[in-house]
Amino acid sequence: MTDLSPTIELAQALIRRPSLTPDDQGCQALLGERLGQTGFQCESLRFGPVDNLWARRGTASPLLMFAGHTDVVPTGPLHRWEHPPFDARVHDGVLHGRGAADMKGSLAAFMTACERFVSQHPNHKGSIAWLITSDEEGPAREGTLKVVEALQARGEQIDWCIVGEPSSTRTVGDVIKNGRRGSLGGVLTVHGIQGHVAYPHLADNPIHRVAPALAELAATTWDEGNDFFPATSFQISNIQGGTGAANVIPGELEVVFNFRFSTEVTAETLQQRTEALLKRHHLQYELEWTLNGRPFLTAEGPLVEAAQKAIQRVRGFKSQLSTSGGTSDGRFIAPTGAQVVELGPCNATIHRVNEQVLVHELDQLSAIYEDILVDLLT
């Protein structure tokens, strides 16, 4: 395909760098060079094995930040790809490759939107910033989280943040994620006494002990949700116990579970209610909690309004606000007080073999980002 737009050409250049998390493979250097030419002051912030890029144009407020990641997930079986995952091939109006939708296409759209906007409005009000990490698809402990902490320590306040995660469902712009549920994980270890199945009175089966408690946890109504969030859910993802022998009562059982929770409840409340329930069942247990992210919501305000207006102007329809899906790095940015939305390509093929995105939709996404810049910073 000839005559590709600058957005698609940059997306291809990024996809051709196999930046499997957390190896950035020079993607941030490429972005930083382009941003520097557009008047951004770029700063590399490395924590452990993770590369992070902080770039800012201007010193005044308000600050509109674009947030994203250069790392991608593994390809899976190469023989199942229609086109090699790092060739970034365009065929029949479709850009193929790992990261095309999640989220190198968004990064390219960020860039061309900023370049056009600065060219037309070199003296725009406020500031524009980029926060890019190579740790979003990994543990997410030394990327956006660490950069936000560093920014707060030096007093940089983010007013508005657009995260380029693939938020769209059927066509670009049909869905804006204006919040996300919280994620609270638990690893429950229940202790019993190992023994022979023929002599249960000499043993204490932790599977039998915990089963009623798990049933009660699964049946509990934690909240009713609200206008923006569904009710909090509890799901068991793994149960492991036993020696593998059919005639041995296990002495220990491990249960891995997760809460996806709304703003109607706190992580602390979920922990307290869970442990109270376990104690009522007289279990001998240990419980390790991991808070992956608290829920956040940008219900209304200038950013949501600007995004909706931009989609209406560029795409000709009204977008839907949603808080569905998993977590994103927005969970680290929203607690600073910033308004946060996720707005990006369609998510139908993310993390799958044959990840792809429509070429014209990336160009439309770039136009949407530019329109938001015009709305908020002119």
Write the DSSP assignment of 287-318 as a string of letters. EEEEEEE--EE--SSHHHHHHHHHHHHHHSSP
The pTM of the full predicted model, rounded to 2 decimals, is: 0.90
Q: What is the pLDDT of residue 2?
A: 63
Q: What is the pLDDT of residue 324?
A: 87
Which residues are catalytically annotated?
A: 71, 136
Structural contact between residues 53 and 32, judged by C-beta atoms closer than 8 angstroms: yes
CA dihedral 6, 12, 14, 17 (to 10 degrees): -150
Q: Count the helices and strands in the chain (H runs, E runs).
A: 9, 19
The Cα 249–Cα 339 span in angstroms is 53
Q: Quick check: helix, strand or coil at residue 358? A: strand
- Nearest CA-CA partner of 343 in 172, 181, 227, 160: 172
Beta-carbon contacts of 322 under 8 Å, excluding residues fewer than 6 positions away, are: 167, 175, 176, 177, 178
**Torsion sign, CA atoms 152, 322, 182, 365:** negative
Q: Work out the burial of residue 366: count CB atoms within 10 Å of its CB; fewer than 13 is exposed, 13-18 middle, 19 or more buried.
A: buried
Rounded mean pLDDT for each run of 10 residues along the chain, 378 residues in total: 88 98 98 98 97 98 98 97 98 97 98 98 98 95 96 96 97 96 97 97 97 98 94 97 95 98 96 98 97 91 98 97 89 95 97 97 98 98
Beta strands in the chain (DSSP E): 41-47, 50-57, 63-69, 90-91, 94-96, 127-133, 160-163, 175-177, 179-180, 182-191, 195-196, 233-241, 248-249, 252-261, 285-293, 296-297, 320-322, 339-342, 356-358
Beta-carbon contacts of 333 under 8 Å, excluding residues fewer than 6 positions away, are: 65, 67, 131, 144, 148, 158, 161, 163, 340
SS (H, E, C) 151-190: HHHCCCCCCEEEECCCCECCCCCCEEECEECEEEEEEEEE
